[in-house]
Structure formats: C-alpha cells, structure tokens
Amino acid sequence: MDIESFRKYCLLKKGVTEEFPFGEGTLVYKVAGKMFALTDLDHFESINLKVDPEQGLLLRESYPAVQPGFHMNKKHWITVILDGSVSDKLLIQWIDQSYKLVVSGLPKRVKHTLGDQ
C-alpha cells in the first residue's frame, strides 16, 4: 500500500477527517474527533492503528511487522511496519477494525449520524 491508497481508503469512511494535530509530518485520521489511524507523511514506513487489547496482543504475536504502538498507548495501539510482509488486504481489514472500534465507543447520537446504530 502506498500513501495515496492509504489516504483515499481512510477518507472513504463516513465522517472521517484528515488532520495534522502533531505537526506537518504526522498525518492523522479521525472519526468524530477520535483518532483511528496515523502515519508519518514524509516517510510512509508504518501505520499506527487502534486495536482491542486482546487483538493487539494476538497480532503482535502472529506478525513480526506488527509492534506495540510507537509513541502511543501500547495496550490500545499497534504500529504496522510496511515492509511488504503484510498484504494490503490484511492492512485494509485492520484499518476497518480500527475505524469500527473507535465508532463503537462514540455516543449513540454520533453513531446515528454515521449510519451506525
């Protein structure tokens, strides 16, 4: 996956915004103001994704390219190293899961505006 494919895919999701809260070099995707994915814009070598703690542990044990979230809460975030060992299909699944996890924690009225009840 390249940076443009990553950007386009994240922006296809309902209610997603693209922001730079940590400076020009860190691209962050949020839904209803909550982060679900981020990456280094200049060096697209990894992606941070929010995960369920148990799933994060399992992914880290199963895939060498999946590490504890760099500069993030290690329990709730993973960093996926984009070294070619993780397929785009799997990466898309993990992006979807991250988005859904964040949406599941939103208030009902916000979920309703996203079409998720």
Are 36 and 49 spatial neighbours (Cβ–Cβ below 8 Å)? yes
**Mean pLDDT (whole number) for 8-28:** 95
Q: How does the average pLDDT of the chain come out, rounded?
A: 93
What single-letter DSSP state applies at residue 69? Answer: P
Sorted by where each begins, the domain ranges of the chain are: 3-113
3-113 domain in CATH 3.30.460.80? no
Q: Which amino acid is at 100?
A: K
pLDDT at 101 over 90: yes
pLDDT at 74 over 80: yes
Residues in contact with 95: Cβ distance below 8 Å, sequence separation at least 6, in sequence order: 6, 9, 10, 36, 37, 47, 49
Closest by CA position to 39, among listed 89, 94, 82, 97: 82
The three-class DSSP label of residue 89 is helix
Percent of the chain with pLDDT over 70: 98
